[in-house]
Each structure stands twice: as structure tokens, then as C-alpha cells.
Amino acid sequence: MFKVMILIKRKPGMSKQDFIAYYEQQHAPLGSSKVPNMKRYVRHFLHPYGNDVYAADAEPPYDVATELWFDDEDDFKRGMAYLTEPETARIIGEDEEKLFDKSSIRFLVLEDHETDMTALNAAERARRG
């Protein structure tokens, strides 16, 4: 699987609630309809959190971390090519203007490393006896 993450800040003056509602009801369906080879499209809306150890920022630098999943990098490139077709670029661009601070958008390729918690927990239980 080839995955990218897009970090995005909402348009200035837009509430977080309005941002989430518009993204979910308008932009996500529009975006998913324009990239037919995308396998998964996941939005992680970010909210400040703090506790005794970690301070909560009043306003995070991004409002959403969006994941796009493809079979491989070539499929990703083909998917992005759909978005550069003139009519699609116009439609998506106009919608993004209503929603995003476009200067904030950052694309990142994800390289996953996962800890096997089942094995780790079993080893810890065995160590405790």
C-alpha cells in the first residue's frame, strides 16, 4: 500500500464545526468522486488535548490530517493526474477555496512501522511470571 497524508488548516474565520461539516458533507464526497483508483480516504480531525504531562495548544497548526491510500506509487501519481485535468482542477480548486487555507497544505508520504503489541504484552506477562 502507498499512503500519503495531507495536513491542512481551515480557512481563516471558519469555525472548526463548520469546517468538519463542510469537509464531510461536501468536499470528501467531491474529492473521492474525482480519484477513482483511491483505495481509502480517511480524515483525522485534530483537537487540542492536554494533561498533567503535555500542554494543550489552544489552536493546533493543522485542523485535519487526511490519509489517501493507493495500491502503489504509480496509482497515486495517476490519481493526482486526475486532479490536474482542467475541469477537475477548477471544480476541486473552487471547493478548496471555500474550505482550506491553501498555503497550509502539506503532502507527506507515510512510511509505516508498527509495534506488535500482542507480542510485546505476551513477553511482558511472561517476564512477570
Nearest-CA neighbor of 18 among 92, 103, 102, 100? 100
Give me the pLDDT at residue 124, please.
Answer: 76
Question: Tens digits of per-residue pLDDT, 50-81?
Answer: 888 887 777 889 999 999 999 999 999 999 99
CA distances from 64 to 23, 27, 84, 110, 116 (A): 10, 13, 23, 16, 27
Handedness of CA 79, 80, 85, 87 (dihedral sign): positive
**Looking at residue 49, what is its pLDDT?**
87
Alpha-carbon 10 to chain mean position:
13
pTM above 0.75, yes or no: yes
| Torsion of Cα atoms, 88 then 93 then 94 then 97, to 10° | 160
Q: Which amino acid is at 53?
A: V
Task: Label residue 128 by pLDDT band (50, 70, 90).
Answer: confident
Give the 3-state secondary structure of residue 115. Answer: coil
pLDDT in tens, 78-93: 999 999 999 999 999 9
When comparing pLDDT for 112 and 119, which is higher? 112
